[in-house]
Amino acid sequence: MLYSEEIGLERTDPKRWRLHITPLGRTTWEYLSKEDSEKSPQSEYVKYLLETGDFNGPKPDPTINTPLGKIKKGAEFFQLLQDPDSGIFPNQYKGPTFLTIGYLIAHYYAKIELPDGYKTELIRFIVNNSHPVDGGWGLHTEDKSTCFGTTLGYIALRMLGMPADHPVCVKARKTLHSLGGARKNPHWGKIWLAVLNVYKWEGVNPAPPELWAMPYALPLHPGRWWVHTRAIYLPVGIVQANRIQCEEDDLIRQLRTEIYLPNESYDTIDYENNRNNVCGVDLYYPHTKILDVANYFMSIYEKHRPKWMLNRMNKYSYDILVKEFENTEYLTIAPVSHAFAVIAACFMEGTEGKNFKKAFARANDSVFHGNQGMVVMGTNGSQTWDAAFTIQIFISSGLAELPQFQKTVERAYLYLVRNQFDTECREGSFREKRIGTWGFSTKEQGYTVSDCTSEALKSIIMVREHPAFSHLRDAIKDESLYDAVEIILGLQNVGSFEYGSFASYEKIKATTLLEHLNPAEVFNNIMVEYPYVECTDSSVLGLTYFHHAYPHYKPAKIEKTLQDAIDYILGAQDEDGSWYGSWGVCYTYAMMFALEALNSVDLDYLNSSAVRKACDFILSKQLPDGGWSESMKGCETHSYVNAEASQAVQTSWSLIALLMVGCPDHKAIKRGIKLLMDKQAPNGQWSYEGVEGQFNHSCGIEYPNYRYLFPLKALGLYIKHYGDEPIEN
Ligand code: LAN
């Protein structure tokens, strides 16, 4: 039973929610009136997502005992989660707890009410994800309570209308006080507190917009930072330099008395001396002395910045922000930057301003409903990424041969075709060429991701080469694939320590020494791009597929790129045979990608000692029940840490890795397959067992479609190697 139900919290009627989806994959939730909801039926995937109780899953069949039987049942289930019109698999891409606050403060600042039903469901989500023991919140939903998470969770509940004497608030406040009170927030927390007008700007380390006006040649220029950090600090610069704050009202006055320790008072806190005062529990990555010195000088400068300079900097950085709006259909890269950008636009243009209105209209794109309630997600979805894996896995596991599964592939393919970028970014927005590539979610969001492009490219080639889909071959032209390839080739890093690798969104543009200036305190590796082994693996896969399909297209260049990438991957392998994964949990995730990439250039168990070492590592982690299970703790500690019990996703990743490279330990593999099959419910469903993804070494994020997709892939590979024999005890 959900905690919100246990304590009798109000909820909306799940049957009245509808999910609107555009052909470009934009998702927005609407709560209909009772009459309207009776007129329009709810789609199956919404019933599933909200657990309304009347989801018509496939007919359960407890007699299935072959891998192929399980694959078909699993695919039958998964198909129902696809929106037939757009081809996407909408899902609540949840985990981070620091995103809803921006959405709420942006509304509060602009004085605009939330849509119907949202408040009730946002409250439910926060309450359902509070820590079961102390009632606080962490950085992500499976974390221990932190000052950052608890402050933001508490304030969000209060802004959403929960009274301070509600038992949930009383408990959370107690935890917040035990963590030192709101004064102990890390940088991003302090910024939000200051914008809400419950903390003073003197107590926030500066992020001046002037940085943008420096010459680009300087390695420090924000245009060289990691795209997310850059996109956040651009509007933050405006918000902070202008000391933007919500108008004081009763709630704000009350919050000022609630979030600090009982013996502290909002008016007497020495804000300046609290700039670097961060709760020990939160402090993953304490900032450096260099940053302290830089902050010291920047804050002196800020105090004396002349008005004319401020106006000039406002204009200068707002011009760049407007370009970011235009490049992303007003979404900006993700919800943190979006909330700050909406506030900056409101300040610069007012609520009648054209850019403000357009940006505000996008506020609900990342808000997603689920059975636990509503939450602001890490991005506006995972549409492209999921579509690409669906295609690949439906084809590789043989499902695409069967007529009843072909529509799923077709729809996902057409989604990818529609969502390839076909315009360039505005001049002067510090963005690279993007025509021909794909992002993680939608075309509208507009940010090229190296591996998303490569996985999409690979999927498209797979469909075009498959006889069942010959009628769709011309939905995309060869030239459009060449565009993608050109950009992938250009994304390979050539610097000395990362030679041959691929980063996430762009080529590495500045030294990692910039990490010394990372002000965030709760995330590592956010200042610049880094080489990522998974991104490199996917790039290898995209390029090898392309190279086989188009052997005459720049073969020498592609072969050289592949060779360098493979050398990078081999060089990045740890002594014990493992690879550290940055975007999934953790070693298991990276091992799967790495071994598939190595296999695509014909390295396998027999001919490669690196592969054998990797297989030994994986086998050494198999649990007595035949499965695998890695905990997200290892992401922080950079070591393999077991989770409590075997998980279908982790087991699939390990099996895929072993099967890809022909690991000969049939017995071990078969035990894993057996566990995977046993975990499937008779109607084809696999249940959630633990967080699958992560970012910046500290934050967990769920990928709800992984538990359907990767088991299908593992089972499909098993059949290829060992046939479709029944697997009994
Ligand atoms: C994602 C999600 C997808 C992910 C993969 C494609 C899986 C990866 O291989 C490349 C990086 C990428 C695109 C990625 C980057 C960082 C994101 C956007 C996220 C983990 C989802 C949320 C996160 C974003 C930065 C959250 C906001 C927080 C900050 C620290 C800025």
pLDDT-derived band at 283 (thresholds 50, 70, 90) equals confident
Confidence check: pLDDT of 357 > 60: yes
Residues 260 and 364 in one domain: yes
Q: Can you give the pLDDT at residue 583?
A: 97
* pLDDT at res. 515: 86
ipTM over 0.85: yes
End-to-end CA distance of the chain: 33
Quick one: 642 and 720 in the same domain? yes
- Based on the domain organization, do 249 and 273 belong to the same domain? yes
506 in contact with ligand 1, CB cutoff 6 A: no
Whether 302 is covered by a domain: the verdict is: yes
Cβ of 523 below 6 Å from ligand 1: yes
Which range of residues forms the domain containing residue 9? 3-67
What is the pLDDT averaged over residues 236-249?
97
Name every residue whose Cβ is closer than 8 Å to that of residue 25 and which is 6 or more positions away in sequence. Answer: 86, 88, 381, 383, 384, 415, 419, 441, 442, 443
Q: Is residue 15 part of a domain?
A: yes
Helix, strand or coil for residue 699?
Answer: strand
Rounded to the nearest 10 degrees, the angle between the axes of helix 67-79 and helix 666-679 is: 40
In this prediction, residue 522 has a pLDDT band, given cuts at 50, 70 and 90, of: confident
For residues 425, 428, 430, 433, the Cα torsion angle rounded to the nearest 10 degrees is: 40
Ligand 1 atom closest to the Cα of residue 504 is: 10
Has residue 540 got a pLDDT over 80?
A: yes
Looking at residue 633, which CATH number applies to its domain?
1.50.10.20
Q: Report whether pLDDT(521) > 90.
A: no
157 and 140 in a single domain? The answer is yes
Atom of ligand 1 nearest to the CA of 523: 30
Q: Does residue 451 carry a catalytic annotation? A: yes
Same domain for 401 and 473?
A: yes
Per the structure, the count of domains in the chain is 4
Using 50, 70 and 90 to split pLDDT, how confident is the model at 524?
confident
Model confidence at 729, pLDDT cuts 50, 70, 90, reads low
- Average pLDDT estimate for 573-589: 97
Does 562 map to a domain? no
Which of 121-135, 342-356, 381-395, 506-520 is the least confident region? 506-520
Q: Are 16 and 34 in contact (CB under 8 A)?
A: yes
- 502, 525, 553 — which closes off a domain? 553
Determine whether the shortest distance from the Cβ of 590 to ligand 1 is under 6 A.
no
How many Å lie between the centroid of ligand 1 and the Cα of residue 35? 40
Residue type present at position 46: V
The CA distance from 482 to 714, in Å, is 31
| Co-location of 536 and 581 in the same domain | no
Q: Is 632 found in the same domain as 685? A: yes
Concatenated DSSP letters of 37-74:
HHHSPPPHHHHHHHT-S----PPP-TT--SHHHHHHHH
How, if at all, do strands 693-695 and 373-376 pair? unpaired
If asked whether residues 367 and 470 sit together in one domain, one would say: no
Q: Measure the CA–CA gap between 716 and 706, rounded to whole angstroms.
A: 15
Question: Would you say residue 692 lies in a domain?
Answer: yes
Distance between CA 450 and CA 506 in Å, rounded? Answer: 7
Strand partners, 642: 630
Burial of residue 300, with CB atoms counted within 10 A of its CB: 0-12 exposed, 13-18 middle, 19 or more buried: exposed
Q: Is 549 exposed, middle or buried (0-12, 13-18, 19+ CB in 10 A)?
A: middle
User: Which among 451, 474, 483, 537 is annotated as catalytic?
Assistant: 451
Note whether 416 and 343 are same-domain residues: no
Is-contact 146 139, C-beta < 8 A? yes
The answer on 244 and 141 residing in a single domain is yes
Residue type, 729: N
pLDDT band at residue 198 under the 50/70/90 scheme:
very high
Find which of 52-56, 122-126, 520-524 is predicted with most confidence, using mean pLDDT: 122-126
Q: Angle formed by the axes of helices 609-620 and 587-600, to 10°? A: 150
Q: Look at residue 692 and tell me whether its pLDDT is greater than 70.
A: yes
Residue bearing the CA closest to ligand 1, atom 29: 228
Per DSSP, 283 falls in state -
Q: Is residue 144 one of the residues assigned to a domain?
A: yes
Pocket test for ligand 1, best of 440, 455, 505, 586 (most atoms within 8 A of CB): 440
The dihedral formed by the CA atoms of 706, 711, 714 and 720, expressed in degrees to the nearest 10: -130
pLDDT tens track for 159-186: 999 999 999 999 999 999 999 999 999 9
* Ligand 1 and 335: CB distance under 6 A: no
Both tokens of residue 561?
């790129």
Q: What is the pLDDT of residues 71-107, one digit of tens each?
A: 999 999 999 999 999 999 999 999 999 999 999 999 9
Q: Does any domain span residue 36?
A: yes
Q: Per-residue confidence at 461, pLDDT binned at 50, 70, 90?
A: very high
Mean pLDDT of 673-700: 96
Q: Do both 394 and 531 map to the same domain?
A: yes
Q: What tens digit of pLDDT does each residue of 625-669 get?
A: 999 999 999 998 999 999 989 999 999 999 999 999 999 999 999
End residue of a domain, out of 335, 355, 376? 376
SS3 476: coil
What is the Cα–Cα distance from 595 to 601, expressed in whole angstroms? 10
Tell whether 190 is covered by a domain: yes
566, part of any domain: no
Average pLDDT, the chain: 96
Ligand 1 pocket test target in 377, 583, 697 with most atoms within 8 Å of CB: 583
The one-letter amino acid at 35: E
**642 and 713 co-located in one domain:** yes
Residue 603: which pLDDT band, with cuts at 50, 70 and 90? very high
